[in-house]
Every structure is written in C-alpha cells, then in structure tokens.
A and B are shown apart, each in its own frame.
Chain A
Amino acid sequence: MAVHLHSPLRTEQLLGLFVIASLPATAVGIWNLGYQILVISIAGGENLNSAGLWLPGVLGIPADPMSISACVLTGLVYFAPLLMVAMGTTLFWATIFARVRNISRDPGWLMTSWLFVLLVPPSVPLIYIAIGLSFGVIVGAHIFGGTGRYLVSPALLSVLFLLLGYPEFAESMLPLQGSGVTSSWAEVSTTGFTEKSASAYLWGREIGAIGTSSVAAIMAGCAFLIFAGAVSWRIVAGGFAGLVLMALLLNLSGDNTAAQLPWYWHIAVGNFCFILVFLATDPSAIPLTRPARWTYGVMFGALTIVIRILDPNHPEASLTALLLAALSMPLMDFLVVKKHLQRSEIQ
C-alpha cells in the first residue's frame, strides 16, 4: 500500500513558507542596513568598507540616508554576497550528502542559508559564512539525516559556532556611530531607554543582525506561518508568555539597567522575535507533544530574559536560550508520554 492522497503542504513547500514569511523582515532589514551604512559613511565612519556605496552612485541616486532607494541599493550590495555564499555552502553540502548516501537532495538547504544570513552581522567576512554554515549543516543537520531528524536548527548552530569560536565575528557588527556599541540590545542595556522610543525598534530602526531589525515585519511573517499551518502557535504564545513573565519578575529585583527594562522593550529590542518565529518553530526540531511545546516556548522566553539580564554584555541571549530549550525537549516529550501512560493506567 502506498499513500494515494497528500495534503498540499509537502516538506519542500513547508520549508519554502519560512523563506516567504521572512521576506518582509528581509526587506526592512536590507533597507535599515543601507540606512546605517549611509549614516556612518556620511559621518566619515572608520572600518567601513566604502566599496559598498558604488551601486547607488552608478544608478545616479544620491547617497542620502533619507532616500529609500539609496538605502535599499546600498543594503543589497552588502546582503547579496552574504546570501550567495550561504546558499552556495548549504547547497554544496546537501548535494555532497545526497550523492554519498544515494538519496535525493535534502530540501532544507534554502531555508537554513536564508535564515542564517538574516542572523549574521552585515559586515562579516564571507569566509566566516562558509565556515559557520558548513559546521552548522554538517554537525547540526546532515549527520542526523537532514530535515526532520535534527535536534537544533542548523542556522542557529552556525551562528552560535561563529559567536563562540570566532571573536572577530561578534566584532564585525556595524558600530553605532558615536556610542561604540554594536547592537541595539547593547545600547539599551547600558544606556537605558531614554534615547529612542520602543516603536522605533518595533518598526525597524534597530542595529544588529540583518533580519532582526523590524519586530513588526517579523510578526507579519509569524501570522502568515501560523495561518498556513507551518508553525505551532503554542510555541510562539509560550515564548512571549515566558518572556513577559520573567521580565516582570526580574523587574522586581532589578539591580542593573537591563533588569529595569519593561517587558515590551525586551520584545522590541534584539533578536528574540526573529529567533522565536523562524528558528524556535523549525518543524524538524520542535517538541512532539502539545504540553512540551508550551514548556519549550515558555522556557525559551524565560531563559532569554535570564541570560539578557544576568549578563547584559552577552551579545545574543536568545541564541543560547534556544539551544538550551531545544536540547531539553526530548526529555520533556518523554515525560509527557510517560505521564499519559501512567494516567491511563490508574484509571
């Protein structure tokens, strides 16, 4: 017997939905990236590879940060090579493993490379992209058997690998002119929240990784993914609940600037939303049971706050939090099943 009828949502289409859902975040990210670069270049910023400014010049558009087309074109010059190298790397390994194992090519390569590029700082050297992703997809995905079988999102693993193994990687963030901090989280956690309003971060004026700049664009993608049935709303809801509850709790005991931040700032700033919506919901790596999905979401949100507040200098708290939450989930699933069997035994 074989399966004669399939729902339209096959593996390849399902993973493609993640790419489609991240397009708004990508668009805002590219625009914001171009804006930051133009602002820095006008102020005569150091360490900036000004070669990226040629494209608006060739097309005769003035390099004005207020011009959307100038921003987008400048952003694209930085974004496109990153994406090319990332897609080349994941496609290469997917093809190699398919050849060696004599199976069809794993469909996860596009989603992994796409989400990875949105999570890296824009001025990272291209060789790091290749190194990080190679580690992530081989160790994180292919040795487990690829899509549907791995434990932790390979994009997440790639970023964590670069962050822990290559100090230059974290330093390759674009510095915010004048303050020397390299991400909005660093800015907010040290200076408090008097400078900008939370809504600026919400709509996209954030510095840091490319894809994380606009919470609004990310949430649009989130709504699309939930509506399409690609992600579990329980994880997303649990993530926000965990984040809010833990932030409120630590507000009471706050002994540093970061601890005093109200909960909505934690949502607006940093990469929490992006990681929650696109990486924590990776259908290959999420828990199998509904109670475990809630626990996973809450644990991820709460851990993000704990790491952010106890160590405000930690660059990307959500990455570590997700790793910890994801690795503890097989145990949660096991306990849920065991509880179910025991409960029905008693009755």
Chain B
Amino acid sequence: MMRIEIERGLNIPLGPVANSAIELMPSHVALLGQDFPGLRPNLLVEKGQRVHTGDVLFTDRSHPDICFTAPASGVVASIHRGRRRSLEAVVISFEEARQAGSNISKLKLMNLSPDNIRYVLQRTGLWTLLRSRPYNHIPLPDAVPKQLFITAMDTNPLAPDASALIHENAQAFEQGLTLLARLSKKTFVCQHPGVNLPCPEVDGLTPIEFTGVHPAGLPGTHMYRIAMLHGLRSPPKAVWHIGYQAVIAIGKLFLSGTLDSSRTISVAGPGAGEPRLVKTFAGAGVDTLIADSDSKLARVISGPALSGHLVSSGTGHLGHYDNQLVLLAPAEDSNTSPGGMLAVEAFDAIWPFAVPPLPLLRALLVRDSDTVSAMGCSFLAEEDMGLCSYVCPAGHDYGEALRQTLNEIRKGASY
C-alpha cells in the first residue's frame, strides 16, 4: 500500500479521548444553514408539522435535486431565519430515529447504475455529505469528480478513533465504498498506517496511508499530496471528499433500505469532566451531549478545536459534518486588535503544502484573490488553515479570510 509521510504539522495535546461509546438520545436535532454556505433553501415544511426520518425538509433552490432530509422523526419545533431571510436552522423535536415506512426498498447493489446511486443519495439527503473542491461545496447533482477522497482517518486533536469505528461497521463501510467508487474514476481511501481497513476489490479504488502529524488527516492535505505526486501544483478541478461516518451511513442505507443518521462523536477537551464517546444523531442538540461533570463555563466547539464553530451549550447543535464536540476553557477577555502578521518560523513548520505559506497568508489577509488563485489555493478549505491561525502570534483568523477570498474568486469564476 502506498504511504505518504506528512512531516510538517503539529499535534496539539488537549488530553485523552474515550474508547467505548455510550448512547444518548438528543432532545432536538437540527440542520444548520452555516454548514451549507451559499445555499438558497426552498423550505418544504413549516413549524409544527410532523416529519419522519428521511423526509425532505428543504431543497436547494438552484438545484432542486439536492434534498436536505430530517435526521429523525418528530415535530418541526422552530425555523430560525437570519439576515436577509437566510436560513439559520430547522429544529425538530426528537421522537425517534428509526425510519418507519421506507420508500426505498432493499436495493440490489450489483444492479445499480451510477445514475441510480446519485438519485438515491440525493433523495435521501446523503448527497449533502459529499463536498467538492475548489470551494468546498456540495457537488452539483450531475457533476462527475476527477478524484474522490474517502477520509477514513482523523488527526484533529480529540477526534474519535476513525479506524475503530470503521472496523465496528466494516460491512457497511465496505458497501459504501463499493457504491461511491462507481461515482468517480479514481477513489482514494485515506487511512492511518497499519489499520487494515476493509477495502473491496473494485476498479479505481486505491487505499493509501498517510502518516505523521496533523494535518495528515485532512482531505485538503490528501488532495495536494496526491497532486504533488503527479507533479501538479494543485488537484484537478472537481475533486470530492467524504468522511468515514458518511460512507458508513451510505452503506447502511443500501444494506437495510433505511436512512441511518446516527453519528458517533467524541466529547472531550480541557473543559470536559471526563472524555466521552457518544453515539447520537446527526444535528443533535448540544445540551444533552454535555454532562453534569463538564465545566459550565466551557466554550463548546462543534467540530475540530482548530476550525470548528462555537456553539451555545444550551441551544446549539452538532454541525452536519462534525465528528466531535470540544470543550475548551473559557476565553480570556482580549479586546486587542490583532495587529500585523509576524513572520515567525512556526508557519513554515506546520505547513504541509509546497506553496510558501506566508505570502499566501498575507494575500489572504488583504483578500488578494488573484494571488490566491494563482497559487492554486482555491482547493483549500477553512480547516486547512486551522494550524496557521493557531500559531499566528497576532491571532488572525485565516480560515475566515480564506472563505471570504474563495467567495470572491467564485464570484469571478464561471463555474
């Protein structure tokens, strides 16, 4: 098996993670608008309406084939609107997760054409777990990727053990891989070294090991390293990636015919009383995930500590793509403005890509989208900038700067 070593990076020690999972039923589940930047939703439900697992809550106005579905059955408790009537959240009060009457009968794997797979994924909402770069958005319904990256590893601090979770759901993972591999000519299963993940013998499916420190487990790192192997500055246009829990969910859908929106997440961090591994549901309310032993003042981050979103411990929800909740100590009051970027060597030491980091960061800070796209950096996502923001003495948020610059580039680009 091919192995790629990531030498530059940084593992930030934040404490232990738990190994055995406990099950927790959330009181609410939600889909959050912030997980789908640029989405113009077409709402199909209203407040008070009863929905079942897998029912379509809203679709993308520009691409009605892409459905966003309810992760659990219950009553639509509230629909939050933000600025300019943007969608902030659709909250469902949780009753049960099991999909009662499925309209997808057991599907025969071997007979499915790529178009059928697409249709099923789009209809069940699992399509929204795929993301396409450049720009890191949900792929268009008819798009064909050049490469697909299965992120079967996680090097974020306090992340759950990806290999263990995959081994527990080996059959579903294997089915998911078989199906996804039909959507793309080339599919890479990126994993920790020596974990022997199940990998079906399918054309175009290549397992590949990434060793080393974080960000060795981020899809951005995988894409650029594979491109570098082929002597390219940046990956080919339209590269997709998907997380391992999504692959398992896809496998389960095609095995059982019902939508399984369960997620196993790690709840840990300096603000957590004891690290826990929690089996719950996509979009689960944060309140039930936080135990009494956790610090009441802790900052709750949905997603990786380096790039996740700060959520309210009372009313917040787990993000669509997040595998962890990180509880950090309360922020110190700092009302200082960041000041200019200081060129410390630490930036070079944590940067795994070939492009020199500081000229890129400076271009990001001044929103110089021409330079950023000339450097081939439109394939990066916010999470790839997490370590840069961490080591920056001035404390700039390069993830946010990247998102805004990419929006600029996307506005000017034709696709």
B residues in contact with A345, CB < 8 Å: 233
A1-28, CB under 8 A of B: which get 1 and which 0? 1111111011101100000000000000
Interface residues of chain B: helix, strand, loop or mixed (majority): loop
Output the residue of A4, A13, A233, A287 with the most chain B CB within 10 A. A4
Q: Which residue of A lies closest to B14 (CB)?
A: A5
B residues in contact with A145, CB < 8 Å: 340
Could you list some 7 contacts between A and B, CB below 8 A?
A: A1-B400, A4-B310, A10-B395, A11-B339, A11-B395, A106-B339, A284-B343
Complex CA gap A289/B400 in Å reads: 23
B residues in contact with A4, CB < 8 Å: 299, 301, 305-306, 308, 310, 326, 328, 331
Report yes or no: B340 in contact with A9, Cβ–Cβ below 8 A.
no
A17: min CB distance to chain B, Å: 10
- If A1-B307, A3-B395 touch, does A147 touch B359 (CB 8 Å cutoff)? no
Q: Which residue of A lies closest to B400 (CB)?
A: A1
In this complex, the interface size class of chain A, counting residues with CB under 8 Å from chain B, is 35 or more
Contact of B345 among A2, A10, A232, A336 (CB under 8 A): A232
A residues in contact with B301, CB < 8 Å: 4
Complex CA gap A229/B306 in Å reads: 21
Report yes or no: B232 in contact with A290, Cβ–Cβ below 8 A.
no
Q: Is A286 an interface residue (CB 8 A)?
A: yes
B residues in contact with A229, CB < 8 Å: 344-346
- If A4-B301, A344-B232, A347-B232 touch, does A290 touch B343 (CB 8 Å cutoff)? no
A209-249, CB under 8 A of B: which get 1 and which 0? 00000000000000000000111111000000000000000
Q: Is A103 an interface residue (CB 8 A)?
A: yes
Which chain B residues in 364-415 approach chain A with CB under 8 Å? 374-376, 382, 389-397, 399-400, 403
B73-92, CB under 8 A of A: which get 1 and which 0? 00000000000000000000
A residues in contact with B348, CB < 8 Å: 290
A123: min CB distance to chain B, Å: 35
Complex CA gap A192/B340 in Å reads: 45
Report yes or no: A146 in contact with B390, Cβ–Cβ below 8 A.
no
Which chain B residues in 145-161 approach chain A with CB under 8 Å? none
Output the residue of B233, B344, B393 with the most chain A CB within 10 A. B393
Q: Is A323 an interface residue (CB 8 A)?
A: no
Q: Which residue of B lies closest to A2 (CB)?
A: B397
Complex CA gap A77/B376 in Å reads: 58
Report yes or no: A337 in contact with B356, Cβ–Cβ below 8 A.
yes
Complex CA gap A333/B307 in Å reads: 29
B199-242, CB under 8 A of A: which get 1 and which 0? 00000000000000000000000000000000111000000000
Listed in ascending order, the chain B residues whose CB lies under 8 Å from chain A are: 12, 231-233, 299, 301, 305-310, 326, 328, 331, 335-346, 348, 354-356, 358-359, 362, 374-376, 382, 389-397, 399-400, 403
Complex CA gap A103/B339 in Å reads: 9
Q: Is A196 an interface residue (CB 8 A)?
A: no
Contact of A5 among B233, B305, B309, B399 (CB under 8 A): B305
Total A-B Cβ pairs within 8 A? 125
B288: min CB distance to chain A, Å: 22
Q: Which residue of A lies closest to B301 (CB)?
A: A4
Report yes or no: A287 in contact with B343, Cβ–Cβ below 8 A.
yes
A residues in contact with B299, CB < 8 Å: 4
Report yes or no: A284 in contact with B354, Cβ–Cβ below 8 A.
no
Report yes or no: B233 in contact with A344, Cβ–Cβ below 8 A.
yes
Complex CA gap A337/B370 in Å reads: 13
A167: min CB distance to chain B, Å: 35
Contact of A9 among B338, B339, B356, B393 (CB under 8 A): B393
Complex CA gap A13/B343 in Å reads: 15
Contact of A148 among B309, B342, B382 (CB under 8 A): B342
- If A146-B339, A340-B355 touch, does A3 touch B389 (CB 8 Å cutoff)? yes
Complex CA gap A37/B414 in Å reads: 74
B residues in contact with A340, CB < 8 Å: 354-356
B391: min CB distance to chain A, Å: 5
Contact of A7 among B346, B355, B397 (CB under 8 A): B346
- If A229-B346, A344-B233 touch, does A6 touch B340 (CB 8 Å cutoff)? no
B132: min CB distance to chain A, Å: 21
Q: Is A341 an interface residue (CB 8 A)?
A: yes
Report yes or no: B393 in contact with A10, Cβ–Cβ below 8 A.
yes
A residues in contact with B331, CB < 8 Å: 4
Q: Is A324 an interface residue (CB 8 A)?
A: no
B residues in contact with A149, CB < 8 Å: 339-340
A residues in contact with B12, CB < 8 Å: 5
Report yes or no: B328 in contact with A9, Cβ–Cβ below 8 A.
no
- If A10-B393, A149-B340 touch, does A288 touch B362 (CB 8 Å cutoff)? yes
Q: Is A253 an interface residue (CB 8 A)?
A: no
Q: Is A104 an interface residue (CB 8 A)?
A: yes
Contact of A230 among B344, B362, B399 (CB under 8 A): B344
